[in-house]
Structures are given as C-alpha cells and as structure tokens.
Amino acid sequence: MNAEETTRTFLGFFEERGHQVIEGSSLVPPGDGPVLFTAAGMHPLTPYLDGGPPHPQGRRLTGLQRCLRTTDLDEVGDERHLTVFQMLGSWSLGDYDGPQSLRWGFELITKILGNERVRLHATVFGGDDQVGPDLASQRTWDELGVPVEFLTDDNWWSNGPTGPCGPDSELFVWTGDGPPQGSPGTDERWMELWNHVTMRFRRPGDGRLEPLSQPNVDTGMGLERLLMVTQGVPSVFQTDVFQPWMSVLPGLWGPGQKELRLIADHLRASIVIIGDGVRPSNTGRGYVLRRLLRRVLTVLWRTDNSKSLGDLPVTLIEHTLARFGQHTDPELIREILKDEERRFAVLMTRGRKVLGRFGPGWQPTPEELSYLHQTHGLPPDLVTDLLTEEGETSESVVGQ
Ligand code: SER
C-alpha cells in the first residue's frame, strides 16, 4: 500500500467506527500560543480537550496532521526520524476510553500488517508518586496477546511543562533481522509506531496534576514509519513518499547516504514550512527554517561549493507540496531557497575572513561570541560551524 492507500485505510477504519475526518491544519498554530510549530496531531484540538466548546464535528475524530519536531534534529539521518512528518490520529473527546482505543488500534494494525502479533510489543505507564500504574491498558494488551512492559518516564505524554497530559500506551514493532528479542525498554530495534494517550490531566505549572473536565483519548502514528513497516523497507527514506527525492538527489549532488537523508529531510521540511507561510529570518519560526537550510548548505558545500539549491528540480518541490496538500507556487519556493543560499554564502565568506584573524585552535569566550554577533552579524552557531569546519580541514590536512 502506498501513502495514499494507507491513509485512506486508516481514516476509513475510524469512519466506520463513528469518527469524522478533520482537515489537517497548518504547521503554524493560530494566535500567540506557546509552541512555535504544530508538533502533534492533538495541538489543533487543545481547546476541545478541557471543557471548551464542543468540537463542531463531534466527539470522535480522525485525521492526518503535518507535524514538525526540532527535538529529533540530531537523529535525522537515521532510519526513522524526520523533522517534518505526517501523523495519523484518532481522538475521543470525552467519549470512549483508552482500552477501546487500544483494541481498535490492534484490530487496524493486524488488518494492515497481517497477523503480525509476534512482531508487536506494547508499553504502558508504570506509575509514579502521583498516578498509579496503567493496569487497564496492561490487561487489554494481555487479552489481545501482545507482550507488554511497564515503563514510567517514556509512557507519560505531555505537551510541555504545562497543559493537558496523561499516561500513554505505545505500540512497537520489531524492525530487526530474525525473531524479536528483548523489549522496547531494552532493545532499540523495537520501533515505536503508535501512541495512545489517555489524556485526562492538566498541569497548571506548580507541579500539581488536576483532572481535566473530561477524559480524552489522543492517538498518533507517524505515517512514514507505518509505511516503512507496510512496505517492508529498512528506513523511512525508502518509502514511496521519499522515492522521488532519493532517486534524484544522488545523481544531482551525490554525497553519502547519511548526508543524502539529511538533505532530503531538511529540504522537504523547509518546503513545507515555507508552504505554510514562514520565511527565513533571525527569530522564531523563520530561524528554524534558516537553520535547516544552512545545515543543508553546509553539508552540500563540504565537498564542492559550486553545488546550488537552484539546481533542485521543481518536480521535487511540487511532489512535496502535493503530499502535504499545499498550494504555494513552487517557483516562489525555489526563489526563497536561492535567496537564502546567496545570503549564507556572503555570511560564510565574511565569517571566514573575520575568524581568520584569531588564528588556529582559537576558542571564543561568550563575550567574543557576542562581539562577533553584534559587530559582524555572525550568529554563535555559525561561528561554531565555521570553527568545526576549520578543525575538520586541519585534521584532514594532518591526516594526508
Ligand atoms: N500526542 C501523542 C503524540 O504526539 C499522541 O498523538 O505522540
């Protein structure tokens, strides 16, 4: 099943069980909320979780939401982490309970994957000094014949230090060669697939937990990870959603596998962010976008600084916009990428010249970093990049 069919199967399954499909929202949350980007399918539903107005589409919802997570940035390039991804979700707004959600989840997963019980493992909340262990979820997994492990920190989901939260139960699938070994807590080859949060608390910010006015269920499953399993490929980059990227980029820029993945991930993320109206800048969302593009350019130019984002085929931009249901002009996106590339090239040239005055092995103090930023417009992270680049060059000279 390709991405389209898998999404239809997921949404159709929940529609048959009384859920309404909600439209995916922008990566940019409305208003001045505390989060920069939508990072979970439940973000747009926050007003309906706690005694707000009833959701216009009812108490049972399902949908596909684009999400961005900067917390996983250092892991991008491995088999399963992405900066921007699509999350399939189902929600009970004060309607059915957590065990019902797990039973449906299991039914759908076995429908999609075939009878793969042997490759599944669940985890449930083990309890802490405020909330007891999640025995209802544990019993449900036992009934379904799925092995289950109690974990504590990993099985508590929250949006941040304040706001709605609750214990979660996660479903993992075995991605290793040969028969499954260990458990999600002991073996990383268990990959988290689907998270079911029993969202029934709120943190006001003073360490206490208060019950929400209604118990909700919030589930989320990364579409790209699901495709990795259904399409039987060892990484998200080999699924159909990345196929055009991974077939074009090696011939175009040809760096190693890990670099290719990072470039594909960051460019795809940048296109979606721009598609949602963000422009590169030195603060907030615009700065996240700028950092993503600078990372791409740093990797591209490491081997050959004549490589240019201007060579990116417009078909890759179009493919990405179509996947995320966005309607921005692809040529405009390419112009924004090229403009950002020009600015970065100027900054790098200036940076190298300024840093050259300090001599090899120099480590800036916080005051020097601030001086470089204020006087020369060189942000601290760019200085770090340039010093790393200088260190790598001298190491490779020494190694020759
Ligand atoms: N909010 C949970 C998550 O992001 C489940 O959707 O994992």
- Best mutation site among 65, 168, 216 for ligand 1, i.e. most ligand atoms within 8 A of its Cβ? 168
* CA 42 – ligand 1 centroid, Å: 7
How far lies 91's CA from each of 58, 116, 163, 234, 332, in Å? 10, 25, 17, 30, 36
**What is the structure's pLDDT at 115?**
63
Any ligand 1 atom below 6 A from CB of 42: yes
User: What does the alpha-carbon distance between residue 218 and residue 70 come to, in Å, rounded to a whole number?
Assistant: 21
Indicate if ligand 1 lies below 6 Å from the C-beta of 44. no
pLDDT at residue 391, rounded to an integer: 64
Q: Is 89 in the pocket of ligand 1 (CB under 6 A)?
A: yes
63 within 8 A of 89, measured Cβ to Cβ: yes
Minimum CA distance residue for ligand 1 atom 4: 40
Report how far Cα 104 is from the mean position of its chain's Cα atoms: 24
Q: Which residue do the tokens 């007003």 mark?
A: 47
Report the alpha-carbon distance of residue 276 to residue 47 in Å, rounded.
22
Distance 239 CA to ligand 1 centre (A): 22
Q: Tell me if residue 362 falls in helix, strand or coil.
A: coil
Q: What share of the chain is helix, strand, coil (3-state, %, to 5)?
A: 45, 20, 35
pLDDT number for residue 259: 87
- Position 228 scores a pLDDT of 94
Residue 40 CA: nearest ligand 1 atom is 4
Pocket probe mutation, ligand 1, options 87, 123, 194, max atoms within 8 Å of Cβ: 87
Indicate the length of the chain as a whole number.
Answer: 400
Residue 332 is predicted with a pLDDT of: 96
* Angle, CA of 64, 68 and 71, to the nearest 5°: 135
Cα 62 to ligand 1 centroid, rounded to whole Å: 13
pLDDT at res. 393? 54
Q: Which of 22, 42, 68, 225 to mutate to test the pocket of ligand 1 (most atoms within 8 A of CB)?
A: 42
CA of 336 to the centre of ligand 1 (A): 32
- CA 88 to centroid of ligand 1, rounded, Å: 10
Centre of ligand 1 to C-alpha 357, Å, is: 49
121 sits in the region (left: phi over 0; alpha: psi -120 to 50; else beta) called beta
Å from CA of 225 to ligand 1 middle: 14
Residue whose CA is at the smallest distance from ligand 1 atom 6: 220
pLDDT at 122: 98
Q: Which residue, among 315, 304, 309, 318, has the nearest Cα to 254 in the 3D structure?
A: 304
* Closest residue to atom 2 of ligand 1, CA basis: 220
Q: Which residues of 235-263 are buried (b: 16+ CB within 10 A; e: fewer)?
A: bbbebbbbebbbebbeeebebeeebbbbb
CA of 163 to the centre of ligand 1 (A): 14
Ligand 1 lined by 220 (C-beta under 6 Å): yes
Show contacts of 289-294: CB within 8 Å, 24+ apart. Answer: 290/340, 291/381, 292/83, 292/266, 293/266, 293/337, 293/340, 293/341, 293/344, 294/344, 294/382, 294/385
Structural contact between residues 81 and 87, judged by C-beta atoms closer than 8 angstroms: no
Alpha carbon of 252 to ligand 1 centroid (Å): 36
What's the pLDDT score for residue 51?
79
Ligand 1 centre to CA of 114 (Å) is 24
The model's pLDDT over 213-260, given as tens digits with 9 standing for 90+, comes to 999 999 999 999 999 999 999 999 999 999 999 999 999 987 778 889
Helix (H, G, I), strand (E, B), or coil: what is residue 62? strand
Residues of the chain with pLDDT below 50 are 395-400
What local confidence, expressed as pLDDT, does residue 63 receive?
A: 98
- Find tokens 């969202």 and name the residue: 199
